[in-house]
A = this chain, B = another copy of it.
Amino acid sequence: MLSFITTDADISHDALNLALSYCACESFNKITVDGDMSTNDTVLLMANGAAGNSTVEIDTHEFKIFRKYLLAVMKKLAADIVLDAEGATKFVTVKVKNAASASDAEKVAEAIANSLLCKTAWFGCDPNWGRVIAAAGYSGADFDPEKLSLFYEDKPVVEKGRDAGTPEKELSDLMSKGDFSVILDLNAGSSDYEIWTCDISYEYVKINADYHT
């Protein structure tokens, strides 16, 4: 990934740096395709001051507006990477809610989003909740399986650790639309984390097995 972003804004070096760090954490650092990272993953932000505004500094109203729109641009670019991933047929938003800590929320979301068993189930439109909860379990986060709930979009799949009874066909149909959220409420605290990811298909294997360097 090589991402180059330019702006005409006149903005101080410190403000530009801070805005970029914040937005990178909230965009490119919250996507995963296969868990692999590249040595050349890069995001550059350059400002030339051509807009002629008075220089934007940290902690001003203008800084917040700049950061807000920078984040919108970077989220769009990050989402495009997932949409354009090798062989992806599903755009999946993994939301972990009410984890015991920020680090737990992140660990659980990463484990689910990178689980090959979850990703192949999504490819097959299989709302296999066992695989999702198993990934949460091996993430090492602290939670009580008897208290968690799982949703695909607004449809309950697991309630307090038990199958919620939503017919599999309803869930499969929802998944077959190609863009859905997997929402795991751990009911263990108040930390949330969200990652954008995709499924793993035959085409992913083909592209990455055939491409020789």
Name A's B-contacting residues (CB within 8 A): 34-39, 114-117, 120-121, 123-124, 126, 128, 130-131, 134-135, 137-138, 168, 200-202, 204-206, 208-213
In the complex, the answer to whether B168 meets A116 with C-beta atoms within 8 Å is no
In the complex, the answer to whether A128 meets B212 with C-beta atoms within 8 Å is yes
**Bound CA span A29–B37, Å:** 25
What is the oligomeric copy number? 2
**Bound CA span A128–B137, Å:** 33
Q: Which of A38, A130, A137 has the most CB of B within 10 A?
A: A38
Looking at the assembled complex, report how far the CB atom of A150 sits from the nearest CB atom of chain B, in whole angstroms.
14
In the complex, the answer to whether A134 meets B212 with C-beta atoms within 8 Å is no
In the complex, the answer to whether B36 meets A212 with C-beta atoms within 8 Å is no
Contact of A208 among B35, B121, B206 (CB under 8 A): B121
